[in-house]
Structure 1
Amino acid sequence: MPVEPRPCSIAAALDILGERWSLLALREMGYGVHRFAKIAGYTGASRDILADRLRKLEDAGVVERRQYSEHPPRYEYHLTQSGRELFPVLLALRTWGDRWAVDSPALDLRHTCGESVDVALHCAHCGDPVTRESLTPARPR
Structure 2
Amino acid sequence: MKATDLCPRLQKSMDIMGKRWTGLIIYQLLHGPQRFSTIEASLPVSGRLLSERLKDLEQEGIVLREVFPETPVRIQYSLTEKGRALESVIRDLQQWSEDWIEPGECQS
Bucket of the pairwise TM-score, normalised by the shorter protein: 0.7 to 0.9
C-alpha contact 2:33 2:79 (8 A) present in aligned 1: no
The residue aligned with 1:77 is 77
Q: Which runs of 5+ in 2 are unaligned?
A: none
- Secondary structure at the residue paired with 2:34? coil
Change (3 A) 1:69 1:100: farther
Q: Which has the higher helix share?
A: 2
Q: Which runs of 5+ in 1 are unaligned?
A: 105-141
The residue aligned with 2:42 is 42
Distance apart, 1:76 and its partner CA:
0.6
Distance apart, 1:71 and its partner CA:
2.9
Whether 1:89 aligns to 2:103 is no
Please report the TM-score for the alignment, with normalisation by the length of structure 2: 0.83
Distance apart, 1:58 and its partner CA:
0.1
Higher relative contact order (CA 8 A, sep 6+): 2
- % same residue: 32
Whether 1:58 aligns to 2:58 is yes
C-alpha contact 2:68 2:74 (8 A) present in aligned 1: yes
In 2, Cα distance between the equivalents of 1:39 and 1:18? 19
Structure whose CA Rg is larger: 1
In 2, Cα distance between the equivalents of 1:16 and 1:103? 26
Please report the TM-score for the alignment, with normalisation by the length of structure 1: 0.65
